[in-house]
Structure 1
Amino acid sequence: MCNLYSMTSNSQAIREIAKVLEDRTGNLQPLPEIYPNTMAPIVRNGTNGRELVMARWGMLTPPGYLKGHCGVTNIRNPGSAWWKRWEGVAHRCLVPLTAFSELERLPDGKSRPAWFVRSDGEQLAFFAGI
Protein backbone atom coordinates (compact mmCIF):
# COMPACT_ATOMS: atom_id res chain seq x y z
CA MET A 1 0.00 0.00 0.00
CA CYS A 2 1.15 3.53 -0.67
CA ASN A 3 1.79 6.12 2.03
CA LEU A 4 -0.92 8.52 0.84
CA TYR A 5 -4.29 7.89 -0.77
CA SER A 6 -7.72 9.48 -0.95
CA MET A 7 -11.30 8.28 -0.64
CA THR A 8 -13.71 10.96 -1.82
CA SER A 9 -16.60 8.78 -2.99
CA ASN A 10 -19.55 7.91 -0.75
CA SER A 11 -20.49 4.94 1.39
CA GLN A 12 -23.41 4.03 -0.91
CA ALA A 13 -21.01 3.48 -3.82
CA ILE A 14 -18.72 1.34 -1.65
CA ARG A 15 -21.65 -0.72 -0.37
CA GLU A 16 -22.93 -1.40 -3.89
CA ILE A 17 -19.60 -2.32 -5.47
CA ALA A 18 -18.29 -4.42 -2.56
CA LYS A 19 -21.69 -6.00 -1.79
CA VAL A 20 -21.55 -4.75 1.81
CA LEU A 21 -24.32 -6.02 4.10
CA GLU A 22 -23.65 -3.77 7.10
CA ASP A 23 -22.36 -0.18 7.11
CA ARG A 24 -20.78 0.94 10.40
CA THR A 25 -19.11 4.11 9.10
CA GLY A 26 -21.87 6.54 10.05
CA ASN A 27 -21.73 9.76 8.05
CA LEU A 28 -18.70 9.02 5.85
CA GLN A 29 -17.10 12.30 4.82
CA PRO A 30 -14.72 12.68 1.84
CA LEU A 31 -11.13 11.95 2.90
CA PRO A 32 -8.82 13.68 0.39
CA GLU A 33 -5.59 12.75 2.25
CA ILE A 34 -5.28 9.46 4.15
CA TYR A 35 -1.89 8.79 5.72
CA PRO A 36 -0.63 5.76 7.69
CA ASN A 37 -2.00 5.48 11.22
CA THR A 38 -5.19 7.43 10.40
CA MET A 39 -8.79 6.24 10.30
CA ALA A 40 -10.23 5.29 6.92
CA PRO A 41 -13.00 3.04 5.58
CA ILE A 42 -12.34 -0.63 4.86
CA VAL A 43 -14.51 -3.58 3.87
CA ARG A 44 -13.96 -6.70 5.97
CA ASN A 45 -15.67 -9.98 6.71
CA GLY A 46 -17.92 -9.59 9.77
CA THR A 47 -20.03 -12.14 11.59
CA ASN A 48 -23.04 -11.33 9.35
CA GLY A 49 -21.08 -10.93 6.10
CA ARG A 50 -19.18 -8.05 4.55
CA GLU A 51 -19.16 -4.87 6.59
CA LEU A 52 -17.93 -1.36 5.96
CA VAL A 53 -16.07 0.04 8.99
CA MET A 54 -13.55 2.72 9.89
CA ALA A 55 -10.13 1.35 10.82
CA ARG A 56 -6.66 2.69 11.47
CA TRP A 57 -4.50 1.55 8.60
CA GLY A 58 -0.90 0.41 8.55
CA MET A 59 1.10 -2.52 9.84
CA LEU A 60 2.82 -3.10 13.14
CA THR A 61 6.46 -2.32 12.58
CA PRO A 62 9.08 -4.88 13.61
CA PRO A 63 10.89 -3.46 16.67
CA GLY A 64 14.26 -3.38 14.90
CA TYR A 65 12.92 -0.91 12.34
CA LEU A 66 11.50 1.61 14.82
CA LYS A 67 14.81 3.21 15.77
CA GLY A 68 15.46 6.16 13.47
CA HIS A 69 12.81 4.95 11.01
CA CYS A 70 9.25 6.11 10.37
CA GLY A 71 7.84 2.59 10.41
CA VAL A 72 6.67 0.03 7.88
CA THR A 73 3.69 0.66 5.62
CA ASN A 74 4.37 -2.01 2.99
CA ILE A 75 5.14 -5.69 3.44
CA ARG A 76 8.13 -6.22 1.19
CA ASN A 77 9.20 -9.58 2.56
CA PRO A 78 6.10 -11.78 2.95
CA GLY A 79 8.37 -14.75 3.82
CA SER A 80 9.43 -13.07 7.08
CA ALA A 81 8.19 -14.75 10.26
CA TRP A 82 7.09 -11.32 11.56
CA TRP A 83 4.17 -11.19 9.06
CA LYS A 84 2.96 -14.81 9.38
CA ARG A 85 0.41 -14.02 12.12
CA TRP A 86 -1.53 -11.75 9.74
CA GLU A 87 -1.63 -14.00 6.66
CA GLY A 88 -4.99 -15.62 7.44
CA VAL A 89 -8.32 -14.69 5.88
CA ALA A 90 -9.48 -13.17 9.18
CA HIS A 91 -6.99 -10.30 8.71
CA ARG A 92 -7.78 -9.49 5.07
CA CYS A 93 -9.79 -6.49 3.90
CA LEU A 94 -10.57 -4.30 0.91
CA VAL A 95 -9.45 -0.67 1.06
CA PRO A 96 -11.65 1.60 -1.08
CA LEU A 97 -9.94 4.56 -2.73
CA THR A 98 -10.47 7.14 -5.42
CA ALA A 99 -6.76 7.96 -5.96
CA PHE A 100 -3.35 7.09 -4.56
CA SER A 101 -0.05 8.88 -4.51
CA GLU A 102 3.59 7.99 -4.83
CA LEU A 103 6.47 10.42 -4.50
CA GLU A 104 7.83 11.86 -7.72
CA ARG A 105 11.51 12.81 -7.61
CA LEU A 106 12.12 16.24 -9.15
CA PRO A 107 15.30 17.28 -11.00
CA ASP A 108 16.41 19.43 -8.06
CA GLY A 109 16.33 16.37 -5.76
CA LYS A 110 13.14 17.36 -3.96
CA SER A 111 10.00 15.30 -4.24
CA ARG A 112 6.25 15.88 -4.51
CA PRO A 113 3.19 13.63 -4.55
CA ALA A 114 2.20 12.27 -7.97
CA TRP A 115 -1.47 11.23 -7.93
CA PHE A 116 -2.84 8.22 -9.83
CA VAL A 117 -6.51 7.78 -10.72
CA ARG A 118 -8.42 5.30 -12.86
CA SER A 119 -8.29 6.12 -16.56
CA ASP A 120 -11.69 4.52 -17.30
CA GLY A 121 -13.63 7.25 -15.50
CA GLU A 122 -14.73 5.02 -12.63
CA GLN A 123 -14.35 6.60 -9.21
CA LEU A 124 -13.70 3.62 -6.95
CA ALA A 125 -10.92 1.11 -6.81
CA PHE A 126 -9.80 -1.24 -4.06
CA PHE A 127 -6.47 -2.30 -2.56
CA ALA A 128 -6.39 -5.72 -0.96
CA GLY A 129 -5.07 -5.30 2.55
CA ILE A 130 -4.27 -7.22 5.69
Structure 2
Amino acid sequence: MCNLYSQTKSQDAMRHVFDNMLEYVEDLADATGNLPPLPGIWPDYPAPIIRHGEGTAWQLAMARWGMPTPAKFLEGKRTDKGVTNIRNVGSPHWRRWLGVEHRCLVPFTSFSEIDGRRAAPRNSPVWFALGEDRPLAFFAGLRTEWTSVRKLKEGEVTAEIFGFLTCPPNGEVAPIHPKAMPVILTQPEEWRHWLTAPAEEALKLQRPLPDGMLNIVAEGVREDAV
Protein backbone atom coordinates (compact mmCIF):
# COMPACT_ATOMS: atom_id res chain seq x y z
CA MET A 1 0.00 0.00 0.00
CA CYS A 2 1.39 3.39 -1.01
CA ASN A 3 0.76 5.87 1.80
CA LEU A 4 3.59 8.29 1.08
CA TYR A 5 4.62 10.01 -2.15
CA SER A 6 6.21 13.23 -3.37
CA GLN A 7 5.45 15.94 -5.90
CA THR A 8 8.33 18.38 -6.19
CA LYS A 9 7.80 19.88 -9.65
CA SER A 10 6.54 23.43 -10.12
CA GLN A 11 3.09 24.38 -11.35
CA ASP A 12 4.68 25.53 -14.61
CA ALA A 13 6.25 22.09 -15.02
CA MET A 14 2.89 20.40 -14.46
CA ARG A 15 1.21 22.71 -16.95
CA HIS A 16 3.98 22.14 -19.50
CA VAL A 17 3.71 18.35 -19.25
CA PHE A 18 -0.10 18.42 -19.36
CA ASP A 19 0.00 20.64 -22.47
CA ASN A 20 1.00 17.51 -24.38
CA MET A 21 -2.52 16.16 -23.77
CA LEU A 22 -4.53 19.26 -24.56
CA GLU A 23 -6.58 19.50 -27.72
CA TYR A 24 -7.58 22.68 -29.56
CA VAL A 25 -9.57 25.14 -27.37
CA GLU A 26 -8.75 23.17 -24.21
CA ASP A 27 -6.90 24.83 -21.34
CA LEU A 28 -5.60 24.01 -17.86
CA ALA A 29 -6.78 26.44 -15.18
CA ASP A 30 -4.70 26.66 -12.01
CA ALA A 31 -6.63 26.87 -8.73
CA THR A 32 -3.79 25.82 -6.41
CA GLY A 33 -2.41 29.24 -5.49
CA ASN A 34 1.26 29.33 -4.48
CA LEU A 35 2.16 25.63 -4.51
CA PRO A 36 5.45 24.70 -2.81
CA PRO A 37 7.38 21.47 -3.45
CA LEU A 38 5.79 18.57 -1.55
CA PRO A 39 8.56 16.07 -0.74
CA GLY A 40 6.40 14.00 1.62
CA ILE A 41 2.64 13.68 1.02
CA TRP A 42 0.87 11.59 3.67
CA PRO A 43 -2.78 10.48 3.98
CA ASP A 44 -5.21 13.40 4.43
CA TYR A 45 -2.57 15.91 3.30
CA PRO A 46 -3.68 18.37 0.59
CA ALA A 47 -2.09 17.66 -2.77
CA PRO A 48 -2.63 18.71 -6.39
CA ILE A 49 -4.87 16.84 -8.80
CA ILE A 50 -5.95 17.51 -12.39
CA ARG A 51 -9.68 17.09 -13.01
CA HIS A 52 -12.52 18.28 -15.20
CA GLY A 53 -13.22 22.00 -14.84
CA GLU A 54 -15.73 24.36 -16.42
CA GLY A 55 -16.54 24.05 -20.12
CA THR A 56 -13.45 23.10 -22.13
CA ALA A 57 -11.08 23.72 -19.23
CA TRP A 58 -9.22 21.22 -17.08
CA GLN A 59 -8.35 22.33 -13.57
CA LEU A 60 -5.27 21.92 -11.40
CA ALA A 61 -6.77 21.91 -7.90
CA MET A 62 -5.93 20.91 -4.35
CA ALA A 63 -7.68 17.98 -2.64
CA ARG A 64 -7.18 15.92 0.51
CA TRP A 65 -5.78 12.42 0.09
CA GLY A 66 -8.25 9.75 1.15
CA MET A 67 -11.59 8.75 -0.42
CA PRO A 68 -14.61 7.79 1.74
CA THR A 69 -14.21 4.57 3.71
CA PRO A 70 -16.82 1.82 3.11
CA ALA A 71 -19.53 2.05 5.77
CA LYS A 72 -18.90 -1.44 7.17
CA PHE A 73 -15.42 -0.36 8.27
CA LEU A 74 -16.73 2.75 10.06
CA GLU A 75 -19.01 0.99 12.54
CA GLY A 76 -18.23 2.23 16.04
CA LYS A 77 -15.76 4.84 14.80
CA ARG A 78 -16.05 8.59 15.22
CA THR A 79 -13.87 9.60 12.28
CA ASP A 80 -13.31 8.57 8.68
CA LYS A 81 -9.61 8.88 7.90
CA GLY A 82 -10.21 7.93 4.27
CA VAL A 83 -8.98 5.29 1.83
CA THR A 84 -5.83 6.21 -0.06
CA ASN A 85 -5.47 3.18 -2.37
CA ILE A 86 -8.29 1.70 -4.47
CA ARG A 87 -7.96 -1.82 -5.88
CA ASN A 88 -11.39 -3.48 -6.10
CA VAL A 89 -13.14 -1.11 -8.52
CA GLY A 90 -15.90 -3.69 -9.01
CA SER A 91 -17.15 -3.02 -5.47
CA PRO A 92 -20.45 -1.07 -5.30
CA HIS A 93 -18.70 1.36 -2.97
CA TRP A 94 -16.28 2.41 -5.71
CA ARG A 95 -18.45 1.99 -8.80
CA ARG A 96 -20.35 5.22 -8.02
CA TRP A 97 -17.13 7.19 -8.63
CA LEU A 98 -15.99 5.61 -11.90
CA GLY A 99 -17.65 8.20 -14.15
CA VAL A 100 -15.51 10.77 -15.96
CA GLU A 101 -16.67 13.53 -13.60
CA HIS A 102 -14.93 11.72 -10.73
CA ARG A 103 -11.71 10.72 -12.48
CA CYS A 104 -8.52 12.69 -12.01
CA LEU A 105 -4.78 12.59 -12.51
CA VAL A 106 -2.55 12.77 -9.44
CA PRO A 107 0.86 14.33 -10.25
CA PHE A 108 3.87 12.73 -8.56
CA THR A 109 7.64 12.62 -8.85
CA SER A 110 8.28 9.59 -6.62
CA PHE A 111 6.34 7.18 -4.42
CA SER A 112 7.27 4.87 -1.57
CA GLU A 113 6.43 1.40 -0.35
CA ILE A 114 7.40 -0.04 3.03
CA ASP A 115 10.38 -2.36 2.61
CA GLY A 116 9.18 -5.92 3.03
CA ARG A 117 12.53 -7.63 2.52
CA ARG A 118 13.55 -9.99 5.30
CA ALA A 119 16.45 -7.94 6.68
CA ALA A 120 14.83 -4.51 6.21
CA PRO A 121 14.38 -2.14 9.17
CA ARG A 122 10.82 -1.82 10.47
CA ASN A 123 8.60 0.63 8.54
CA SER A 124 11.43 1.73 6.27
CA PRO A 125 10.25 3.42 3.04
CA VAL A 126 11.77 2.59 -0.33
CA TRP A 127 11.25 5.32 -2.93
CA PHE A 128 10.61 4.66 -6.62
CA ALA A 129 10.70 7.09 -9.55
CA LEU A 130 10.83 6.96 -13.33
CA GLY A 131 14.46 8.12 -13.18
CA GLU A 132 17.06 9.68 -10.92
CA ASP A 133 15.87 13.12 -12.05
CA ARG A 134 12.34 12.30 -10.81
CA PRO A 135 10.38 13.12 -13.99
CA LEU A 136 6.74 14.01 -13.54
CA ALA A 137 4.09 11.31 -14.05
CA PHE A 138 0.53 10.71 -12.87
CA PHE A 139 -1.39 8.20 -10.80
CA ALA A 140 -4.84 7.21 -12.09
CA GLY A 141 -7.08 8.84 -9.50
CA LEU A 142 -10.69 9.16 -8.37
CA ARG A 143 -12.08 12.24 -6.62
CA THR A 144 -15.28 13.56 -5.10
CA GLU A 145 -16.63 16.14 -2.68
CA TRP A 146 -17.63 14.58 0.63
CA THR A 147 -18.91 15.62 4.03
CA SER A 148 -17.49 13.70 6.99
CA VAL A 149 -15.51 13.97 10.21
CA ARG A 150 -11.90 13.27 9.25
CA LYS A 151 -10.42 14.56 12.52
CA LEU A 152 -12.27 15.07 15.81
CA LYS A 153 -10.65 18.44 16.46
CA GLU A 154 -11.74 19.61 13.02
CA GLY A 155 -15.33 18.41 13.22
CA GLU A 156 -17.54 17.83 10.19
CA VAL A 157 -16.15 19.28 6.97
CA THR A 158 -17.01 19.18 3.29
CA ALA A 159 -13.87 18.75 1.23
CA GLU A 160 -12.68 17.66 -2.16
CA ILE A 161 -10.87 14.35 -1.66
CA PHE A 162 -9.05 11.83 -3.84
CA GLY A 163 -7.43 8.41 -3.94
CA PHE A 164 -5.65 6.46 -6.64
CA LEU A 165 -5.94 3.02 -8.16
CA THR A 166 -3.55 0.17 -7.44
CA CYS A 167 -2.67 -3.01 -9.32
CA PRO A 168 -0.25 -5.96 -9.01
CA PRO A 169 3.40 -4.84 -8.64
CA ASN A 170 5.89 -4.82 -11.49
CA GLY A 171 9.38 -6.29 -11.40
CA GLU A 172 10.95 -3.42 -9.48
CA VAL A 173 8.27 -3.05 -6.81
CA ALA A 174 7.47 -6.74 -6.19
CA PRO A 175 10.65 -7.59 -4.18
CA ILE A 176 9.90 -4.65 -1.86
CA HIS A 177 6.11 -4.83 -1.71
CA PRO A 178 4.65 -7.95 -3.33
CA LYS A 179 0.98 -7.04 -2.90
CA ALA A 180 0.42 -3.94 -5.03
CA MET A 181 1.68 -0.74 -6.61
CA PRO A 182 -0.05 2.45 -7.81
CA VAL A 183 -1.46 2.62 -11.34
CA ILE A 184 0.99 4.92 -13.14
CA LEU A 185 0.25 6.74 -16.39
CA THR A 186 3.22 8.13 -18.33
CA GLN A 187 1.88 9.02 -21.80
CA PRO A 188 -0.50 11.80 -22.94
CA GLU A 189 -2.77 9.30 -24.66
CA GLU A 190 -3.07 7.40 -21.36
CA TRP A 191 -3.93 10.59 -19.47
CA ARG A 192 -6.69 11.48 -21.92
CA HIS A 193 -8.00 7.93 -21.98
CA TRP A 194 -8.24 7.85 -18.19
CA LEU A 195 -9.97 11.22 -18.04
CA THR A 196 -12.42 10.81 -20.92
CA ALA A 197 -13.03 7.17 -21.94
CA PRO A 198 -16.03 5.09 -20.81
CA ALA A 199 -15.30 3.35 -17.52
CA GLU A 200 -14.95 -0.11 -19.04
CA GLU A 201 -12.26 1.17 -21.41
CA ALA A 202 -10.54 3.45 -18.90
CA LEU A 203 -10.17 0.63 -16.37
CA LYS A 204 -8.01 -1.31 -18.82
CA LEU A 205 -5.28 1.07 -17.62
CA GLN A 206 -5.39 -0.57 -14.18
CA ARG A 207 -2.25 -2.61 -14.84
CA PRO A 208 1.37 -2.61 -13.68
CA LEU A 209 3.93 -0.32 -15.23
CA PRO A 210 6.15 -2.39 -17.56
CA ASP A 211 9.23 -3.89 -15.91
CA GLY A 212 12.35 -1.78 -16.18
CA MET A 213 10.64 1.62 -16.01
CA LEU A 214 11.17 2.34 -12.29
CA ASN A 215 14.34 3.06 -10.31
CA ILE A 216 14.87 2.90 -6.56
CA VAL A 217 15.96 6.48 -5.82
CA ALA A 218 16.01 6.63 -1.99
CA GLU A 219 15.63 4.36 1.04
CA GLY A 220 14.90 4.83 4.73
CA VAL A 221 13.76 8.48 4.56
CA ARG A 222 10.33 10.03 5.13
CA GLU A 223 10.70 12.61 2.36
CA ASP A 224 12.14 12.55 -1.14
CA ALA A 225 13.25 16.14 -1.48
CA VAL A 226 15.42 15.84 -4.60
Q: TM-score, normalising length from structure 2?
A: 0.52
Letter in 1 for 2:122: K
1:65–1:71 contact (8 Å) kept in structure 2: no
Residue in 2 that maps onto 1:14:
14
Tell me the distance in 2 between the aligned counterparts of 1:73 and 1:44: 17
Q: Percent identity?
A: 52
In the alignment, structure 2 segments of 5+ residues that lack a partner are 20-26, 143-226
* Alpha-carbon shift at residue 33 of structure 1 (Å): 0.7
**Alpha-carbon distance change, 12 to 107 in structure 1, aligned in 2, over 3 angstroms:** same
In the alignment, structure 1 segments of 5+ residues that lack a partner are none
The superposition leaves residues 56-96 of structure 1 with CA deviations (integer Å, 9 ceiling, x where unpaired) of 12211112223689753222211111111101000001111
Residue in 1 that maps onto 2:88:
77
- Which has the higher mean CA deviation after the structures are superposed, 67-76 or 5-14? 67-76
| Count of residues in correspondence between the two structures | 130
Match 1:34 to one of 31, 37, 41:
41
1:98–1:124 contact (8 Å) kept in structure 2: yes
Q: How does 1:1-130 map to 2 (within 5 A)?
A: 2-19=2-19, 21-48=28-55, 49-66=57-74, 72-105=83-116, 106-107=118-119, 110-119=122-131, 121=133, 123-130=135-142
Letter in 2 for 1:80: S
Tell me the distance in 1 between the aligned counterparts of 2:34 and 2:82: 31
The superposition leaves residues 79-119 of structure 1 with CA deviations (integer Å, 9 ceiling, x where unpaired) of 11111110100000111111000110252672311000112
Larger Rg: 2
Letter in 2 for 1:86: W
Tell me the distance in 2 between the aligned counterparts of 1:72 and 1:66: 12
2:66–2:81 contact (8 Å) kept in structure 1: no
2:49–2:60 contact (8 Å) kept in structure 1: yes
Letter in 1 for 2:97: W
2:110–2:134 contact (8 Å) kept in structure 1: no
**Alpha-carbon distance change, 108 to 118 in structure 1, aligned in 2, over 3 angstroms:** closer
Tell me the distance in 2 between the aligned counterparts of 1:127 and 1:108: 27
* Alpha-carbon shift at residue 51 of structure 1 (Å): 1.1
